[in-house]
Structure 1
């Protein structure tokens, strides 16, 4: 049976997920946050940057923001995972405090390192413990991620994806400001000083998905954040541009494997 528990921590930059997926499959999608997953049982298969990966118990999956991937269980019995969902800016500053202009990245998407796995597993458990002091939880992330940064991470300048006269970051800012509105292809293409046809072709070539799929994911990522902040599913649907509650619930469950109401339950 599929089940996912999304948990806030005392830091707005760190959220935790603990899940078991048996029948649910993730379609091609991306995250706005860093996702670091620990496979605690079973085996998962996913496609990422032209490669197919099989990961099992004791392995770590590092999925950087905006990178397309999918995922499903290899075994009929499913797989279990513990995931860190991390704010990218905060995570980069934690890794490279002396070079705040850099973003942290990693040399590989899958790690087969028992020491790192055990450190991250322990960190996940500690951050989920409501009885720990504030100071302990403030100090834990650097201690828990330090060896991961040291052995597998490095800093680099932020990558800018250009679309016509603008970048994808400018497009994101436009969408955040208008996310509750019916956004048109003509608006996005005009922003980039491209024709609608040029915009569609350039967008798909650079990002690997259609503008519609990209916008839908942005809306659902925003919806997840609002739900975790305590907003009701009905409020959130309208705030992110879904004017039909049933459509919103279906899209959300298709993307995350649970309904919006299960986030607050």
Structure 2
């Protein structure tokens, strides 16, 4: 995968092609491009979805230019996904898609992957990436509107995954490791786990960590010790997650216990 971010004002791209799949979103401004004889405008809340070897150009149509965020996905990568979905090949059926939710997800993912200071877990990053690409392909390729998988996780498979998550609270759990443990690809596993539980593996693990954290705090453990014990990077991340889930900070939660 290749990720790029650039600001353009007066520069114009001549007609060109790419060897891979290109997904683009602008965070401000607007770009206009010609694709198969038709003009398209890439605005905030829309996505540019270009297949390999499709001729196009591009230039700014806003006075202050535009900022483009681009993700390039190799052909082999998309072909592997197509095989998992029992498709011979996958190609975007539109060069421009108005999709506010998906474009915002893309920008969040792009920033996460390009921010060297970000300390998100592998499971969180892989879950976001896999979920975004799966949703993008399901909406804007030849499989759009089709049921992509009728398979479901068995109760035994769900128990295997849940046991791993319980046992690896303070570990950097990998999406591929979970998927391999029940013989599925990351894409198959993510879809089927979410279908079975209503949550992504990362969301499920985060909730487990918070439930165990409450018990540790009730038992008298300090907030900082609890944060590391249940697998949070630091106390700041722990505090934010705890408050988002329980509407109170760990310290406030413990004080309330003492008061009661």
Any runs of at least 4 consecutive aligned residues in structure 1 with deviations exceeding 6 A, and if so which? none
- State the alpha-carbon separation in 1 of the partners of residues 63 and 47 from structure 2: 21
Give the match's secondary structure for 1:154: coil
Give the match's secondary structure for 2:108: helix
The corresponding residue for 1:125 is 111
Residues 77-135 of structure 1 show CA distances to partners (whole Å, capped at 9, x for unaligned) of 111111101111102323541437x2211121101111111221222122223433444
Q: Verify the 8 A CA contact 2:31 2:58 in the aligned structure 1.
A: yes
RMSD of the TM alignment (CA)?
1.9
1:51 maps to 2:32: no
1:31 maps to 2:14: no
1:40 maps to 2:22: no
98 and 62 in structure 1: CA distance in 2 versus 1, 3 angstrom threshold: closer
Bigger RCO of structures 1 and 2 (CA < 8 A, at least 6 apart):
1
The corresponding residue for 2:56 is 69
Unaligned runs of 5+ in 2: 144-260
1:141 maps to 2:129: yes
Query: Mean alpha-carbon deviation: is it higher for 110-119 or for 139-148?
Result: 139-148
Q: Verify the 8 A CA contact 2:31 2:42 in the aligned structure 1.
A: yes
Unaligned runs of 5+ in 1: 1-13, 156-265
Residues 190-221 of structure 1 show CA distances to partners (whole Å, capped at 9, x for unaligned) of xxxxxxxxxxxxxxxxxxxxxxxxxxxxxxxx
- State the alpha-carbon separation in 1 of the partners of residues 21 and 110 from structure 2: 15
TM-score, length of structure 2 as denominator length: 0.50
TM-score, length of structure 1 as denominator length: 0.49
Give the C-alpha shift of residue 47 in structure 1. Answer: 0.5
Larger proportion of strand: 1
The corresponding residue for 1:86 is 73
Residues 5-56 of structure 1 show CA distances to partners (whole Å, capped at 9, x for unaligned) of xxxxxxxxx1111111101110010011111000111111111111111221
Give the C-alpha shift of residue 147 in structure 1. Answer: 1.5
- State the alpha-carbon separation in 2 of the partners of residues 94 and 136 from structure 1: 20
Out of 97, 103, 108, the residue aligned to residue 89 of structure 2 is: 103
Q: Verify the 8 A CA contact 2:22 2:50 in the aligned structure 1.
A: yes
Give the match's secondary structure for 1:132: coil
- State the alpha-carbon separation in 1 of the partners of residues 64 and 22 from structure 2: 24
Q: Verify the 8 A CA contact 1:94 1:142 in the aligned structure 2.
A: no
Q: Verify the 8 A CA contact 1:28 1:69 in the aligned structure 2.
A: yes
Give the match's secondary structure for 2:142: strand
- State the alpha-carbon separation in 2 of the partners of residues 95 and 125 from structure 1: 27
Give the match's secondary structure for 2:2: strand
